[in-house]
Amino acid sequence: MDIVYHDLSRMHEVKTFIDEWNNSSNYLEVKTSGSTGEPKIHRLTKGFLKKSAERTLSYFHLTSGMKAGLCLSLSTIAGKMMVVRSILAEMELHVLPVNHNPLKDLSIDLDFTALVPVQALNYLSNDISNPINGIVLIGGAPLNEEQFLKISKKFRQAYQTYGMTETASHIALRKITADFNLPYRLLDGISISEKEGQMVIHCKEIEGGVLHTHDCVELLDERTFHLLGRSDFVFVSGGIKIHPEVLENRLSNLIQESCLVVPVPDETWGATVGIVLLKNAKIPSNMALKPHFTSSEIPRKYTLIDEILMTVNGKVDRPKMHLKLQNHEWQALL
């Protein structure tokens, strides 16, 4: 594998990981993102990581001599897997800065790279005239419909990924096109089932062959699914389960700025839908909201806040936000 450094400050980081990959240990230690609680350390076998990389290389027909871009930190499973794929396929690895727009000054075409949403969207904010032709994986945080469609116009081979540290990066992909409702499709060697509304992943390389997740899904068949959100964040309003991520996506079509859906205690509904808005946001009207939500889903209260707290990889830090919102003042929307 040849390495081209566009950011010389990353030389030690990359060399350290390659040495770790090549040492005699059968394991690598990887830290989770911490988006639902304290980050955890997982020990994954190198054989597991190799099999995961081979699935991706086979799916996209990635071969020797192609150019791969490393835009992610090697503290994450996504960053580590970009290096592992490059090693196994003997691709030319281009090491780029880990910042909000690592592709900004790049003068070559990459065949394959991975970005978090904020990196892809910041690149597009530069008013890029030419589409990106190479394969781009986008993961680590959700995309709303507006972001999905924006990326589809300039990235010809962009894929939203589904995976986690425990699965050694992604196990499912959906192509980013003009159709936001496309489902995720599993890679070969993976199947899924559902238990109490949550996804169960079946893969022989996973310890015990089974991984129970906290992700709520709509299964279309053993190979495809729609992702609804985390069961950790589901709440009940008027006897109906509310998935905050689903409502937040609908709100993204009505509100330009970032917003957050949280439960607010209510005598009638048990909990009602509250929306957290940035202080400069335009507060949506009842008339604008009603066509997009059922009676249980419709936001009934709102509060204004200076910032929505995020994890390092761009996910909303919901545990910290819930703490921040304790004793916050809520105003009625209806």
HEC secondary structure over 299-323: CCEEEEECCCCECCCCCECHHHHHH
Give the Cα separation of 229 and 295 in Å (integer): 20
Q: Which two tokens stand for residue 317?
A: 């830090």
pLDDT for 285 beyond 90:
no
Helices 11-22 and 77-89, interaxial angle, to 10°?
Answer: 70
Q: Name every residue whose Cβ is closer than 8 Å to that of residue 67 and which is 6 or more positions away in sequence.
A: 91, 92, 94, 108, 109, 110, 111, 112, 134
pTM greater than 0.75: yes
Split at pLDDT 50, 70, 90, the class of 132 is confident
Interval 115-137 mean pLDDT: 86
Average pLDDT, the chain: 90
Specify the pLDDT at position 36: 54
Query: pLDDT > 90: what percent of the chain?
Result: 59
- Ranges for all domains in the chain classified under CATH 3.40.50.12780: 3-188
- Ranges for all domains in the chain classified under CATH 3.30.300.30: 234-332
CATH number assigned to the domain covering 3-188: 3.40.50.12780
- The domain defined by 234-332 folds into GMP Synthetase; Chain A, domain 3 (3.30.300)
pLDDT for 37 beyond 60:
no
Q: Which two tokens stand for residue 63?
A: 């071969």
**H helices within 155-301, ranges in order?**
244-252, 286-289
Specify the pLDDT at position 230: 87
Phi, psi angles (nearest 5°) of residue 247 = -65, -40
Find, among 74, 82, 68, the residue nearest to 9 by Cα.
74
Specify the pLDDT at position 296: 86
**H helices within 26-161, ranges in order?**
46-60, 77-89, 117-124, 145-154
pLDDT for 129 beyond 70:
no
Give the Cα separation of 209 and 78 in Å (integer): 22
Split at pLDDT 50, 70, 90, the class of 334 is low
Specify the pLDDT at position 305: 92
